[in-house]
Each structure stands twice: as structure tokens, then as C-alpha cells.
Structure 1
Amino acid sequence: MKNNLLAIFCFVCCAIVTQLCTQRVWAQTASAGMTLEQANAVKSIKIANLDKDTYFKSGGFILDRYEERPAYVFTYSDGITRKIYLYKIFSAADTKDLGLLAIYQNGKTNEVKPFVIPGANGDRKAWDAYIDDLKYVGEKEPGLMSTLGFVLSREMANLMAGGGGKSEDGDKKKEEYNFCFAADAPVTMPNGTEKAIRDIKAGDVVVGYNAQTKSLAPTRVTKVEIHTGEFKLAGVWLASMNELTAGTSSALVAPVLLEATANHPVLTAAGRKALGDVKAGDVLYRYDATAKGVVAYNVVRTEAAVRSTKQVYNLVTESGAYLIGETVVLDK
């Protein structure tokens, strides 16, 4: 009887705190209403590494770790470590704020339980599904309700204390989630020509890159993403490593410019990096016709804002990488 009362108390606390939290957080922004279908789709998303996968796209959604926080960790007297991970949910098509994903993990079994919490404007059926999950899943997993209740209560207390999620310049801007290139960015085609990214269509075949074999190969475009707004493009200037070490008699070629939104990932010698995080001295890779493959290029200069544009494009490819201006860039 005592355990049943405790479970009921935790359930009621979770429901009340969640409702207050969503009203306070998402009512501050023009959030879209999450549907039951969307809630079920988010709940079915599998996250490969909860500790490392803090931001990614899947199934038409963007999942972004809430306030970039690590997991909440609890160790009870039974010796089992329990964790709660929080992600913000956005629609990938228009970056509308949809709600929150809370993931419970049992450290003994490694089993995870997802809870999709709709935003304040969420459909009633989506809210009903969340309440059902609290009741029926929570009853079967000891420790789940108390950990989830604590986390949501803690976040609510932080919001009421004046914290909670706004940066110095307000909420995250939509363009922070748009990883893209200007409309005239040249995509390298298998026949050696280039085509403006605005003219690429889903189903087209472009030059891709296999990071494991370090080789170029044709790859199919599965999706073209287009965003309209006001976007600043960062730039890096690249020079061949051979030119940097050539003798004074060699004719130097002007550095090549690669520009994209600052968060678009590129392939560097150190691995995947956002373009805005690339520094002078870093190494990127470009296609070389003579070598019939990619060669190392050194970053000789960077610029945070080369120009602005009102429309940006991104490709999703089967290989996960393609060439812009013959430079290897990665899918977001």
C-alpha cells in the first residue's frame, strides 16, 4: 500500500511539474502543436550513443540536448545507476519547437524508456499518450518516476529562478539549425563538371566521399533541403600543401574560398568540424585531377561573415559526404 501511494504521488508530481514547465518554457515561443503521430515518431527514434549524440536529425526531427547538459545521474541503495537525458525537439522542416524528449536509462540492464513531452500547444492526444506512459511504464520500472520527477522539478525550479534556456541574445535562432550553402555553391558532378546546388534534385548523382576508404565515388542525393531567411556565410581560404612548401620559383595560386553557414560540418585532418570552428593551419581535403583523388589543403585564413544570403541549400546523400567547389563537405 505504501509503495502504491508513493507511485501515485510521483506520477501526480511528474504530471503537474511537466505541465507547468511546458507552459513556462514553450509558451514563451511560437511553438507548433505536436500531434500524436509526431510524438510516436519521436519515441521510436533510436539514439546510438546517448552521451555523445547531443545533436542530430532523424525522421524529420531535430534533437538537441537541453541546455547542452550532461545526463542526470542517480545511484540508489540497490546499486543500480539510473540516468535521465533531456533533448529539445524541433521540426526539421521549419525548426518549430515541438516539445521535450526525456530518456530514462537503467544502468544495470541498459534498457531505455523514452518520454515525449509535448509543448504547451501540443495536441490533447499527444498529452494523453505521455500521461499513459508515465502511468504504465513508470509502474513497471522501479526508480523511474522518482528520477524523472526530480529532473523535471529541478528544471522547473531553474526556470522560476530566472534560468532556463535563453542565451544573451534570446532564444536560439532558427538559422542555428540550418546547415547550408548559398544557392550558387558549385557541386562537383561525376563527369567532372559543376552544378549550382540550387539546380540539384533528389535522385541526382553527385561525387561523394568515403571516409573509411578515403576515396571518391558517385553518390545519390536523397534529399535537398531549402531554407529561406537571413543567413550569414562563414568562409575559409584554402591553399595546396604543395604550394606552401614549393620553392620560390613556383608560381603561387590564389587561395580557394569555401563558404557555408558556420555550423556546416567539413572533413578535416582532425575529423569532423563545423566550418566556423576551423582555424588557420587546419587541413581540409579537395579533389585533385592530377592525383585522381583528394589531397590535403591548408587553411590560410578564415572569416566569420563573408556575405549574407536569403536562401540556403543542403544535400542529404547516401555516402554522407559530397564536394562543394571540389572541397569535401559532410552531411549534417
Structure 2
Amino acid sequence: MKHNLLSLFFFFACAITTQLLSQRVWAQTASAGMTLDQLKAVKAIKIANLDKDTYFKSGGFILDRYEERPAYVFTYSDGITRKIYLYKIFTAADTKDLGLLAIYQNGKTGEVKPFVIPGASAERGAWDAYIDDLKYVGEKEPGLMSTLTFVLSREMAGLLAGGSAKTDDGGAKKKEEYNFCFAADAPVTLADGSAKKISDIAVNDVVMGYNVATKITAPTHVTRIDTHQGTFNLTGVWLAPVSEIVAQTEVGMSPAVLLEATANHPVLTATGRKALGDVTAGEVLYRNEAGKPVAYRVVRVEKQTKTVSTVYNLATEAGAYLVGETVVLDK
């Protein structure tokens, strides 16, 4: 009897907290009403590595780790470590906010249980499905309801205290925050001058970095690698040395070199940081030649050169690195 009352308490506490949290969060964001089919589709998404996969696209959705936070970790007297991971759910097409995905993981069995928490404007069927999950799935796993209730209550308390996610003026995550990446075969310049495909780069690898303040190239360590899956259009710019364009020799110019990335990846131009998709013909980017940055002018721009299913991005200690010898910036 005592166990049943406790389970009932956690069930109602979790349901009420969820409703309050959804109203508070989605009142601040550009949201869309989640449908029951969307809820089922999100529940079916498999995340290979919960600790590393903090952002990716799948099945028409974007999953982005809530507030970029690590998992909530609980260790009860039974010695079992339990974790809760939170992801924001967006539509991939227009980045409308749909809700939250809470994933419970049992450290002993490795079993995971997803709970899709609809936004306040979701259809009734989606909310009914979430409540059913709380009752029929949550109650069967010891410790699940208490951990989930704590996490949602903690987030609600933070919002009431004035905390919020990183948002634009309307509260919604900007679409520009996503898709800062390169195709798998993008050549990253290593410290010894050789190149390696970005898909083969590992954390702690030493690549050639660039110090924007001193304008000097120097080795730098890779601190993080982001891998995203979905459908990504790449933008291309063709570059030619400014010196050759100015000289216009009769011998002819060297073939223009191509830099490809998602449109929002930042590059270094003569006027500062700029998204690749905003770069226009005539602007100047910088390429590494013998350890020095050399000005290259954009001679051609193509908004969509190809479409790929997997893209990669590096974070470095220097904040900038070389792709195909062209200086690109960390996102």
C-alpha cells in the first residue's frame, strides 16, 4: 500500500511539473504543436552514444542537448547508477520547438527508456501518450519516477528563478545555431603539413591552427568533434590568389581552389568573421602558404554544391584551423 501511494505521488508530481515546465518553456519559444505521430517518431530514434551525441538530425527532427548540460546522475542505496539526459526537440525543416526528450538510463542493465514531453500546444493524443508512458513504463522501473520528477522539478525551479535556454529575441533557437560543419572528406591540415579527412580526426589530435589576433599559424589540439546525421546542403566558394588577380599575367592564373561547408560555418574574411553562405564574390579569405596567411579572393560562389548525409565539425584550442589550407573558425 505504501509503495502504491508513493508511486502515485511521483506520477502526479511528474505530470504536474511537466505541464508547468512545458507552459513556461514553450511560452518563450517559437513552437509547433506536436502530433501523436511525431511523438512516436521521436521515441523511435536511437542515440548511439548518449554522452557524446549532444546534437544530431534524424527522421526530420533535430535533437539538441538541453542547455548543453551533461546527464543528471543519481546513485541510490541499491548501488545502481541512474541517469537522465534531456534533449530539446526541433523540426529539422524550420527549427520549430516541439518539446523535450528525457532519456532514462539504468547503469546496471544499460537499458534506456525515452519519454517524449510535448510542448504546451501539442495535440491531446500526444499528451495522452506521454501520461501513459509515465504510468505504464515509469512505474515498472524502480527509481525512474523519482529521478525524472527531480530533474523536471529542478529545471522548472531554474526557469522560475529567471534561467532560460540560449535564445534569440523571441526565445526560439535561431536556425543559424545549427549546421556548422564539413563533409566527411574535407581535408584538415595537420601540424606536420600533411592532411587528414575530417572524419578521421580524433580528440587530442594536433592540427594546424590559426591565431586570429597574431595572424600566425601554429599547432593546436582538437578538443571536441561534432558529428551530425541528416540531410545537409553544402555551399561552395572558389578562391584565387589576390596577387595573381591583380597581376593578370599572360601566363594565366592558377586553378581556383574550392572550399565547401554548410552555409552557416564561420570563415575568416578581410572584414572579420562571416558565415560561408554570406560570403560574396570579390571578398577576401585567407589560406596558409609556408606558414603565413595569404589573401585569396572569392571568384565564384555556389549556394549548393552537393548534399551529404553526415557532417563534421572540430573545436580547437586555437579557435581556428585549416580545411584545404583555408582558415576556418570554430563555430
Structure 1 length normalisation: TM-score? Answer: 0.61
Cα deviation for residue 258 of structure 1 reads: 3.1
Q: Helix, strand or coil for the counterpart of 2:137?
A: helix
Within a 5 Å distance, the mapping from 1:42-57 to structure 2 comes to 42-57=42-57
Distance 1:171 1:95, change over 3 A: closer
Q: Which amino acid aligns with 1:317?
A: V
Structure 2 residues not aligned, in runs of 5+: 183-196, 201-229, 242-251, 268-274, 278-284, 313-322, 326-331
Distance 1:317 1:9, change over 3 A: same
In 2: Cα distance, 1:36 partner to 1:237 partner: 48
In 2: Cα distance, 1:166 partner to 1:68 partner: 10
Within a 5 Å distance, the mapping from 1:176-215 to structure 2 comes to 176-179=177-180
Cα deviation for residue 264 of structure 1 reads: 4.2
Give the structure 1 partner of residue 9 of structure 2: 9
Kept in 2, the 8 Å contact 1:237–1:300? The answer is no
Q: Which amino acid aligns with 2:66?
A: Y
Within a 5 Å distance, the mapping from 1:54-69 to structure 2 comes to 54-69=54-69
Distance 1:104 1:275, change over 3 A: farther
Distance 1:153 1:313, change over 3 A: farther
Q: Helix, strand or coil for the counterpart of 2:3?
A: helix
Q: Which amino acid aligns with 1:24?
A: R
Cα deviation for residue 225 of structure 1 reads: 5.3
Describe the superposition over 1:224-249 as per-residue Cα deviations: whole angstroms up to 9, x where unpaired: 759xxxxxx9999899xxxxxxxxxx
Kept in 1, the 8 Å contact 2:287–2:295? The answer is no
Q: Helix, strand or coil for the counterpart of 1:131?
A: helix
Q: Which amino acid aligns with 2:308?
A: T
Distance 1:93 1:168, change over 3 A: closer
In 1: Cα distance, 2:181 partner to 2:161 partner: 37
Distance 1:159 1:131, change over 3 A: same
Kept in 2, the 8 Å contact 1:238–1:300? The answer is no
Q: Which amino acid aligns with 1:22?
A: S
Kept in 2, the 8 Å contact 1:179–1:261? The answer is yes
Cα deviation for residue 105 of structure 1 reads: 0.2
Kept in 2, the 8 Å contact 1:73–1:82? The answer is yes
Matched, 1:98 2:98: yes
Kept in 2, the 8 Å contact 1:55–1:64? The answer is yes
Within a 5 Å distance, the mapping from 1:203-242 to structure 2 comes to none
When structure 1 is superposed on structure 2, of 160-169 and 172-181 the one drifting more is 172-181
Within a 5 Å distance, the mapping from 1:87-126 to structure 2 comes to 87-126=87-126
Q: Helix, strand or coil for the counterpart of 1:46?
A: coil
Cα deviation for residue 254 of structure 1 reads: 9.6
Give the structure 2 partner of residue 80 of structure 1: 80
Q: Helix, strand or coil for the counterpart of 1:17?
A: helix
Kept in 1, the 8 Å contact 2:232–2:311? The answer is no
Kept in 1, the 8 Å contact 2:61–2:89? The answer is yes
Matched, 1:317 2:308: yes
When structure 1 is superposed on structure 2, of 257-266 and 101-110 the one drifting more is 257-266
Matched, 1:23 2:23: yes
The count of residues paired between Structure 1 and Structure 2 equals 245
Cα deviation for residue 211 of structure 1 reads: 5.1
Give the structure 1 partner of residue 293 of structure 2: 300
Kept in 2, the 8 Å contact 1:81–1:107? The answer is yes
In 2: Cα distance, 1:167 partner to 1:179 partner: 17
Within a 5 Å distance, the mapping from 1:263-282 to structure 2 comes to 264=265
Cα deviation for residue 124 of structure 1 reads: 0.5
Q: Helix, strand or coil for the counterpart of 1:115?
A: strand
Distance 1:31 1:297, change over 3 A: farther
In 1: Cα distance, 2:310 partner to 2:159 partner: 42
Structure 2 length normalisation: TM-score? Answer: 0.61
Cα deviation for residue 83 of structure 1 reads: 0.1
Q: Helix, strand or coil for the counterpart of 2:115?
A: strand
Structure 1 residues not aligned, in runs of 5+: 182-208, 213-221, 227-232, 240-250, 267-273, 284-295
In 1: Cα distance, 2:23 partner to 2:145 partner: 21
